[in-house]
Amino acid sequence: MRIIPAIDIIDGKCVRLSKGDYSTKKIYNENPLEVAKEFEDNGIQYLHLVDLDGAKSKQIINHEILESIASKTNLKIDFGGGLKSNKDLEIAFECGASQITGGSIAANNPTIFEQWISTYGNEKIILGADCNNRKIATNGWLKESDLDVLNFIKSYEEKGIVYVICTDIAKDGMLQGTSNDLYKEILQKTDVNLIASGGVSNIDDLIKLKEMGCEGAILGKAIYEGNISLKELQKLC
């Protein structure tokens, strides 16, 4: 299982939220590149980079940070947040993203998202399935749709998606464990490469996700709050 630390960006700074609530913002480092380099120095190979300003805006905002990290580390970066148009996608890949995650765009404008899958291939396009009470949330999680998360994933699996990041918003940033029942259901009823996100609180959570069959696990606050050390992650990797 791939271990994928997250860096969330607001105003150019590395932050974390609780349950996606922007009012709960906590700044952990004003230099995201410094954080990324520390990850790399401890054997981490992958990074989940989220433009939270872009997520609730109409376009990508923090692409210069993506470019800085991509050019000054060897991390393979999955980038999400604010990808609302073909131009945004071009900027993300030009700035060094290895993959991009589309969540809001997949729910709100499936025609464009399907075009991205066709144009760039399913190895580069990840489906972001972020949900609250099983309903897909969009626009920086500020809006909730009527789409059931499992049906949403299944519909895009039929259109060629092979990688899915699923975040249970109620768990995100709470350090209270992951949404294992939901992940088991997705793994049983689809053949996607599932990347679990939200709620990782300790090494045991990661081991459970690995045993369950998740292809990857994203974690953030557990690192920043010291619940999991980078040395522990290095051993797990």
Q: Which residues are designated catalytic?
A: 8, 130
Beta strands in 11-159 (DSSP E): 13-18, 21-29, 46-51, 76-80, 99-102, 125-132, 135-138, 143-148
The alpha carbon of 166 is separated from its chain's Cα centroid by a whole number of angstroms, namely 8
- Cα–Cα distance between 83 and 80 in angstroms, integer? 7
| Residue 111 burial (CB count, 10 A) | 7
> Which amino acid type is present at position 161?
I
The DSSP-derived string for 52-77 is HHHHTSSS---HHHHHHHHHHS--EE
Query: Is the separation of the CB atoms in 223 and 7 below 8 Å?
Result: no
Q: CB within 8 A of 71, min separation 6: which ones?
A: 96
- Cα–Cα distance between 176 and 2 in angstroms, integer? 21
What's the CA dihedral at 93, 233, 9, 169 to 10 degrees? 100
Q: State the angle between helix axes of 180-189 and 149-157 in degrees (0 to 180), rounded to the nearest 10.
A: 30
